[in-house]
Amino acid sequence: ARLAAVAFPAPRRPDASEAAPVPGPEGPEDPERLRHKSRAELGAVDRPLLMAVGSLVKHRGYGTLLDAARTWRHLDPVPLLVIAGEGPERGALQRRIESEQLPVRLVGRRDDVSELLASADVALLTSSWESRSILAQEALHARVPLVATDVGGIPELVGDAAELVPYGDARALADTVTRLLSDPARRDQLRERGAVQAASWPTEDETVAQVLSVYDELTGTRA
């Protein structure tokens, strides 16, 4: 048995046979305009936007995330936590959000997760276990500061490019996010470190080459 890194898929680019996108009446939208558009849709134009993505199941740690959100209610302005995903825990989470009046929105399964994540001030990963988290990889690629649980393969994956907290520790999570929101210099530092860390990960071509080399090795041995 061998461990091998799995590459994060690079953004898909249309080939020459595909028609170029037709610009809107005001021309193509730039990233900052798209960011503002996403934040406006979510209701986070004048407040920090926190983003979590993943199926609504227990191991994702969303109960702890809601516990932390109680603390954020006292900040000014109050951050909005958006969770994208579906799953069996949705009903219980929604009841907590409503009964405790938490600043949290469940937006269900989305086709524009990349755009929503890129518009966030901080990305959150609160799982009890992860190997090579797609959310962590996408956040660093998008230069979004990440706060993640110190579990599984996360520390090795992100290096010093994210804030790590113990799993299930709502206080540590809340304090880390609060500190990060009040420290623009630290967020900028994490963005820069994230870009460097993401550049160190294997590309899709390198991943394929590694797998093929194992096949070559095994078939060559048998020959």
pLDDT along the chain (223 residues), means of 10: 68 47 53 89 95 97 98 96 98 98 97 94 97 93 97 96 98 98 98 95 84 85 55
Could you tell me the two tokens for 49? Answer: 């936007």
Report, in this order, helix, strand and coil percent for the chain, each rounded to 5: 45, 15, 40
Domain boundary assignment for the chain: 35-222
Q: Which fold has domain 35-222?
A: Rossmann fold (3.40.50)
**Residues sharing a CB contact under 8 Å with residue 200, sequence separation 6 or more, in sequence order:** none
pTM: 0.85
pLDDT for the residue 32:
85
Report how far apart the first and last C-alpha atoms of the chain are (Å, whole number).
Answer: 21
CA separation for the pair 37, 157 (Å, rounded) = 31
